[in-house]
C-alpha cells in the first residue's frame, strides 16, 4: 500500500512538472514572433548606395588583380624562358623555381587581400544599417511583448499575427507590402 501511495505521489508530481513545462513552452511560443529580415534590409534606402559603393570597389579591385595577374604572368614567362636557356645550372633552376613560386604566392595573397578588403568595407558600411534594423526589431518586439524574434526563413508554421515585418518596416519608413504578403501566405 505504501508503495502504491509513493508511486501515486511521484506520478502526481510528474504530471505537475509536465503541466508546468507545457505552460512555460506555450507561454514562450505565444511570446515569439518572426521578421523578414532580408526583405526589410534590401528595401532600406541606405542599402542602395552601399551596394553601389561595393560594386565600384569590386570593379576597382578586379582591375587591380587583372593587372597584377598580367604582370605575374609576364614575369613567369620570363622566368620560364631563363630556365630553358642552355647552360643554366641546377642551382639557377632552383632559384628560378623559387622566384616563380614566390610570384604565384604573391598573386594569391593579393587576391585574398582584395577579398578581405571588400569584406571589411562591406562590414563597415552595413554596420549602422544593421544596427538601425536591429533596433527597430527590438522596439517592435518590446511593443508587442515578444521575448523572442526569429528570422522568417526559419519559420515553418506560425499563428496569424506572429509576423512583425510590417511593423518593423513601418517603423523604418519603408514599404515591403508585396514581400510580406507573399511570405505570410506561405506560413
Mean pLDDT, residues 157-182 = 79
Tell which wins on pLDDT, 18 or 114: 114
Count up the domains in the chain and report the number: 1
* pLDDT, mean of residues 87-105: 89
Cα 115 to Cα 56, 93, 112, 126, 129, distances in angstroms: 14, 33, 5, 16, 21
Q: Mean pLDDT, the chain, as a whole number?
A: 82
Q: Is 161 inside any structural domain?
A: yes
Identify whether 138 is part of a domain: yes
Q: What is the pTM of this model?
A: 0.68
pLDDT surpasses 60 at 25: no
**Does the residue 7 lie in any domain?**
no
Of the candidates 179, 133, 183, the one whose C-alpha atom is nearest the C-alpha of residue 158 is: 183
List the CATH number of the domain containing 48.
3.30.910.20
Cell reading at 156: 515553418
> Is the pLDDT confidence value at 20 over 60?
no
Look at residue 3 and tell me if it is in a domain: no
Of 168, 183, 155, the closest CA to residue 43 belongs to 168
**pLDDT at res. 11:** 54
22 vs 88, higher pLDDT: 88
What is the tens place of the pLDDT at every residue in 28-76?
456 889 999 999 999 999 999 999 999 999 999 999 999 999 999 998 8
What's the confidence (pLDDT) of residue 140? 95
Distance CA 69, CA 67 (A): 5
Task: Quickly tell me which residue has 562590414 as its cell.
Answer: 123
DSSP 13-48: HHHHHHHHHHHHHHHHHHTEEEE-HHHHHHH-TTHH
Owning domain of residue 128: 29-186
Amino acid at each position: 500500500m505504501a508503495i502504491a501511495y509513493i508511486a501515486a505521489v511521484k506520478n502526481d508530481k510528474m504530471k505537475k512538472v509536465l503541466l508546468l513545462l507545457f505552460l512555460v513552452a506555450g507561454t514562450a511560443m505565444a511570446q515569439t514572433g518572426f521578421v523578414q529580415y532580408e526583405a526589410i534590409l534590401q528595401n532600406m534606402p541606405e542599402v542602395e548606395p552601399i551596394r553601389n559603393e561595393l560594386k565600384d570597389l569590386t570593379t576597382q579591385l578586379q582591375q587591380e588583380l587583372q593587372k597584377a595577374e598580367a604582370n605575374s604572368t609576364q614575369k613567369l614567362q620570363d622566368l620560364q624562358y631563363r630556365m630553358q636557356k642552355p647552360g643554366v645550372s641546377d642551382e639557377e633552376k632552383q632559384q628560378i623555381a623559387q622566384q616563380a613560386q614566390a610570384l604565384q604566392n604573391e598573386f594569391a595573397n593579393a587576391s585574398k587581400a582584395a577579398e578581405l578588403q571588400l569584406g571589411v568595407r562591406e562590414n563597415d558600411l552595413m554596420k549602422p544599417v544593421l544596427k538601425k534594423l536591429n533596433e527597430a526589431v527590438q522596439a517592435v518586439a518590446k511593443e508587442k511583448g515578444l521575448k523572442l524574434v526569429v528570422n522568417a526563413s526559419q519559420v515553418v508554421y506560425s499563428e496569424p499575427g506572429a509576423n512583425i515585418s510590417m511593423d518593423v518596416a513601418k517603423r523604418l519608413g519603408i514599404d515591403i507590402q508585396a514581400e510580406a504578403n507573399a511570405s505570410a501566405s506561405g506560413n
